[in-house]
């Protein structure tokens, strides 16, 4: 009997399929993999998901990830049987995704120039480890447990390692994290230690650390939980489920993310492709990815800023030679990613092909913002009473840019994903100490009051 969930190569001209317990990141021809489901989930599940919000004692209904478990049932379990859920699904006692939902932020809307009811910002930083990663980590560690892995490995700019550390500590697994030395917020590094991970400091940036972690994963037989892992992508789809459920399964006009390794963009695309195929949604929102100016590979390639050629998914035939040429140009000119938003300081986004597939499906856009625009974006979210980190500040900054350019229209409903909480305490102190910053509320020296 054919399994209802399996892995499938994303290249439609290859299409190799693998058992769900496969742990390779790519097919044998080196293409990335998707989790694929044969069944079409009943639209009536929408009602069940909503009812589960009254979770009583069931942590899998409490969890903002596992509440939607029928749509990521790669363990192929009876999802209504709590014993099966407890045996297979990994959860931090139901807390992942529980508090992340869209919020209205009037001051941010004023800054952007949108009416208050036209902007929704979803706080994924209000997850247990402080970032959106917990959505995908609960599902990736679930798969690790399914295949009997006990050693987990990742490279990280800090949030992935914090999340991996938290889940592995709770599951009694070993965790190895490869951290770019001196390019990580202190709050994130501290979490890696707090949860007892084995910290491996790599000289260089995230791209260097990532390659080393992939090599070492093979050597020590460890299970990779970076977003190249297709099971990470499955959990991250629930970010969009929560957004759409809040909108009664209507879709916004735009969904906006900061872009780093592009796992979020990939999961958003896969989520929308599935929902559209199942006819759960009738319209496709447009995806916006916001790069930092100092780490803008996707921006350059998607917009034809390099060689006047635009990188497109092209129905599964992307111009890979263009991608190679761009990376060669970065290497030869020793161009390193450089932004204060270290979370997205990445020049070789591993998921770029899944991302351009998502951009093709959603008629998406890629923009870029400066560090100072991100700082203002982060600051105005703070002045609205909410917490986000600098990389997430790219979201209000990017939306503002597109509203100013009249690409996003006044009547459009825009939802942005604020991906992480503030873990670099010095940033706000520096920002508000400098009166030249747009939203600075400068400290007062007591003596000046006397
Ligand atoms: N926002 C935050 C707060 C992040 O930590 C990251 C990525 C991103 C955005 C980018 O998301 O990779 O899906 O495009 N952080 C990774 C890490 C790289 O190691 O914590 P993406």
Question: DSSP readout, 12-66?
Answer: TTT--EE-TT---SB-TTS-BEEEEE-S---TTHHHHHHHTTS-TT-HHHHSTTG
Instruction: Give nearest CA residue, ligand 1 atom 12.
Output: 261
**pLDDT computed for residue 363 by the predictor:** 98
Q: How far apart are CA 423 and CA 190, in angstroms?
A: 10
Q: Is 351 in the pocket of ligand 1 (CB under 6 A)?
A: no
Out of 163, 192, 343, give the residue to mutate to test ligand 1, the one with the largest number of ligand atoms within 8 Å of its CB.
Answer: 343
Strand, helix or coil at 448? helix
Out of 100, 205, 260, give the residue to mutate to test ligand 1, the one with the largest number of ligand atoms within 8 Å of its CB.
Answer: 260
* DSSP bridge pairs for 366: 289
Mean pLDDT of 410-435: 97
Q: Is 398 in the pocket of ligand 1 (CB under 6 A)?
A: no
Q: Can you tell me which residue has the tokens 């195929």? A: 277
Dihedral sign from CA coordinates of 39, 288, 224, 167: negative
What is the whole-number distance in angstroms between the Cα of residue 344 and the centre of ligand 1? 6
Q: What is the pLDDT of residues 86-139, one digit of tens each?
A: 999 999 999 999 999 999 999 999 999 999 999 999 999 999 999 999 999 999
Interior angle at CA 207, CA 338 and CA 220, nearest 5: 150
- Through-space distance between the first and last CA atoms of the chain, rounded to whole angstroms: 82
182 has pLDDT over 80: no
Q: What is the pLDDT of residues 34-58, one digit of tens each?
A: 999 999 999 999 999 999 999 988 9
Q: Is 264 in the pocket of ligand 1 (CB under 6 A)?
A: yes
- The DSSP call for residue 197 is -
- The DSSP call for residue 432 is H
Chain-wide mean pLDDT for the chain? 97
Mean pLDDT of 402-408: 98
Q: How far apart are CA 299 and CA 365, in angstroms?
A: 9
What is the whole-number distance in angstroms between the Cα of residue 2 and the centre of ligand 1? 36
Q: Is 259 in the pocket of ligand 1 (CB under 6 A)?
A: yes
1 has pLDDT over 70: no
Q: Is 94 in the pocket of ligand 1 (CB under 6 A)?
A: no
Q: Can you tell me which residue has the tokens 């190569």? A: 9
Provide the percentage of residues in the chain whose pLDDT is more than 90: 97
Task: Name the token pair of 294.
Answer: 């100092």
Residue 415 phi, psi dihedral angles, 5° rounding: -120, 130
Task: Name the token pair of 351.
Answer: 């998921």
What is the whole-number distance in angstroms between the Cα of residue 300 and the centre of ligand 1? 19
Q: Is 158 in the pocket of ligand 1 (CB under 6 A)?
A: yes
432 contacts 443 by C-beta, under 8 angstroms: yes
Strand order in the sheet with 151-155: 198-202, 174-180, 151-155, 223-224
> What residues have CB less than 8 Å from 269, skipping those under 6 apart?
287, 354, 355, 357, 358, 359, 361, 362
Task: Name the token pair of 345.
Answer: 């300081």
Mean pLDDT of 311-326: 97
Strand, helix or coil at 229? coil
Confidence of residue 428 (pLDDT cuts 50, 70, 90): very high
What is the whole-number distance in angstroms between the Cα of residue 12 and the centre of ligand 1? 28
Instruction: Give nearest CA residue, ligand 1 atom 6.
Output: 343
Mean pLDDT of 382-408: 98
Provide the percentage of residues in the chain whose pLDDT is more than 70: 100
Out of 136, 240, 287, 419, give the residue to mutate to test ligand 1, the one with the largest number of ligand atoms within 8 Å of its CB.
Answer: 419
What is the whole-number distance in angstroms between the Cα of residue 159 and the centre of ligand 1? 7
Percent helix, strand, coil in the chain, to 5, is: 45, 15, 40
Ligand 1 atom closest to the Cα of residue 131 is 3
Mean pLDDT of 136-165: 98
Q: How many beta carbons lie within 10 A of that of residue 227, not counting itself?
A: 26
**pLDDT computed for residue 446 by the predictor:** 93
2 has pLDDT over 70: no
């Amino acid at each position: 009997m054919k399994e209802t969930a399996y892995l499938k190569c994303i290249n439609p001209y290859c299409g190799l399929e693998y058992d769900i317990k496969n742990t390779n990141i790519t097919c044998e021809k080196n293409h990335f993999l998707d989790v694929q489901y044969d069944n079409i989930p009943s639209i009536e599940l929408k009602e069940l998901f909503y009812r589960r919000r009254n979770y009583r004692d069931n942590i899998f209904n409490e969890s903002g990830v596992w509440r939607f478990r029928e749509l990521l049932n790669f363990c192929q379990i009876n999802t209504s049987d709590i014993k099966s859920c407890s045996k297979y699904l990994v959860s931090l006692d139901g807390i992942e995704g529980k508090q992340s939902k869209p919020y209205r932020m009037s001051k941010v809307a004023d800054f952007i120039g949108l009416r208050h009811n036209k902007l929704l910002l979803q706080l994924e930083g209000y997850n247990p480890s402080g970032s959106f990663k917990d959505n995908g980590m609960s599902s990736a560690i679930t798969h690790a447990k399914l295949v009997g892995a006990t050693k987990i490995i990742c490279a990280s700019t800090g949030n992935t390692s914090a999340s991996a550390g938290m889940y592995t500590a709770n599951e009694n697994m070993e965790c190895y994290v490869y951290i770019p030395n001196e390019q990580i917020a202190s709050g994130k590094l501290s979490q890696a230690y707090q949860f007892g991970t084995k910290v491996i400091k790599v000289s260089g940036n995230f791209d260097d650390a990532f390659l080393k972690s992939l090599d070492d994963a093979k050597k020590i037989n460890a299970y990779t939980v970076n977003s190249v892992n297709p099971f990470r992508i499955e959990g991250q789809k629930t970010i969009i489920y929560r957004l759409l459920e809040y909108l009664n399964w209507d879709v916004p006009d735009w969904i906006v993310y900061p872009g780093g390794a592009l796992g979020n963009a990939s999961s958003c695309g896969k989520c929308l492709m599935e929902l559209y195929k199942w006819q759960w949604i009738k319209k496709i929102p447009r995806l916006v990815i916001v790069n930092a100016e100092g780490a803008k590979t996707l921006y350059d390639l998607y917009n034809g800023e390099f060689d006047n050629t635009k990188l497109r998914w092209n129905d599964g035939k992307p111009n890979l030679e263009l991608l190679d040429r761009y990376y060669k140009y970065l290497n030869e000119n020793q161009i390193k990613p450089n932004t204060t938003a270290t979370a997205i300081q990445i020049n070789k986004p591993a998921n770029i092909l899944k991302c351009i597939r998502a951009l093709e499906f959603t008629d998406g856009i890629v923009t870029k913002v400066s560090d100072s625009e991100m700082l203002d974006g982060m600051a105005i979210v703070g002045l609205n009473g909410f917490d986000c980190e600098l990389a997430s500040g790219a979201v209000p900054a990017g939306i503002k840019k597109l509203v100013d350019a009249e690409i996003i229209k006044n009547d459009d409903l825009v939802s942005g994903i604020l991906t992480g909480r503030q873990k670099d305490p010095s940033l706000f102190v520096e920002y508000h100490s400098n009166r030249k910053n747009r939203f600075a509320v400068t400290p007062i020296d007591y003596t000046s009051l006397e």
